[in-house]
Structure 1
């Protein structure tokens, strides 16, 4: 196991590459806490990259597609860029029409994080820290954030999110990696087989804002309680698939009844990815509107080239009852984790 540290061409950032004894690799840029590469063996032992990233590392400075980044303070959309806590109203920067998306211009994806690599007997990792001051982006509270990336020798990639605020605030963090288990982007994600332990998804309106309604997945393309291809939603005429540009960009509420919250398989490569988390759900996004002109590490981008599994709390809870809250109380710890375990399918 080892860690390689490099400076980027602009001299401002550091790139850390973690390698375990199975030759699995994760590359992490301290700008945005961005996962730029994730190299995993296929069933024949061939090592290939399974996350989308830019060919030119300096493109992460703009990164309008949020490839691989930490998202915060609140992952997702906040309607009309406002929310209320305890009768106090907060106004945020609008960066998607009148709405606030992924922290806007002061979001954690635009932060150069303090980074400290570490190594233990069975793991290598990087600990990232950042202080977000009171009022930044319109959010209340001084927030101290730590995100720890750990690669273990049994091919688990772990993300731990820890934070504390000196005021009541809204907070839910995630990672925005686009996965493609075919390896080196050989194919789109249409034929990826996905299983999700979820009975309900959150309904979206025409502006992709949660309506507050939970839709039961039975007899819909959102029923992943037994595995199905992502193509079933991409090619669907279901109104909720069409409203997001043909595919998925929806919050799934986890049942917490199975060992894994999400299982993803790609038959040709034989790769298997299992996801477990203590978050109450996730947004699954199938890159419905990715353009065809972006230079990536393994070629040009196109629609449906990757799928995001954004484990997080639901921002819908800021405006609707009946959802797990994303309000963090003053001086109370925020402790969330997500584990990606890699193996091989039968």
Structure 2
């Protein structure tokens, strides 16, 4: 049985794209899956949407004719395409089912969790034989929302491929907490209130769209780097996974989404050798605590107290666990494990 995977054109051309998507494509291709190339949207407006409508239809027609009967096709969902344009792929997926092609969908995002465009999502996922969800919480959500007839597997955590080593990365004090990601106020409003956190703690910020003070009472902005460069650049004792405007909890749409998804920055921190601090109601919190890879907190003001009470020996053991898991993420072991089930 042939194994095929859908990859975006920017992956083949080595252009910048989603780190998570590119890593998955990388792992699959190295394992012998044949890449089938599709175009991706470039967010250029109406004319680009019209152009992509024709290109996407042509891409999926080629895929349909290329794949022989009884093959397997892995699709990263959602497609890196305008949502409504991407639906032109659905008739071809249905035709592939008639060729007994096994369709595996690996989920990056579920718009239904944000309350948007659920019809397209249902049309896509209804064609699946296998759905790879982020974690057990997302698995249960899918089972409760119309996909109980599907084989649904849990990835548990995303891989984070790195070419180099983080052995030379400067270690930080455990009270130095890294925050990496999009620092835009609309997404990470809490970042602009970090000076309200009381206690012995220093936050080190990495990422685009930061418009606050570069050096504050307990905050230092450390610049922006490419995803593949970050593991060697992050300097601190922990990495923080938080979202929304509030310091008391992860609130709003982004905070609610954390109850179901695997934030990719969790993988970044572990691949960088950093234990994780995460909101206790996040879906990933159970994985972090179960494997002793960090700590879960109810609110941001708990962090200094928890770090102070963490003994050096407990921190050493935690870092040792992180090193083991981080190495697995850097080698793509999580995806290989879930595909081997």
TM-score category by the smaller chain? under 0.3
Q: Which has the higher contact order (CA 8 A, sep 6+)?
A: 1
TM-score by length of 1: 0.27
More helix by share: 2
TM-score by length of 2: 0.28
Higher Rg of the two aligned structures: 2
More strand by share: 1
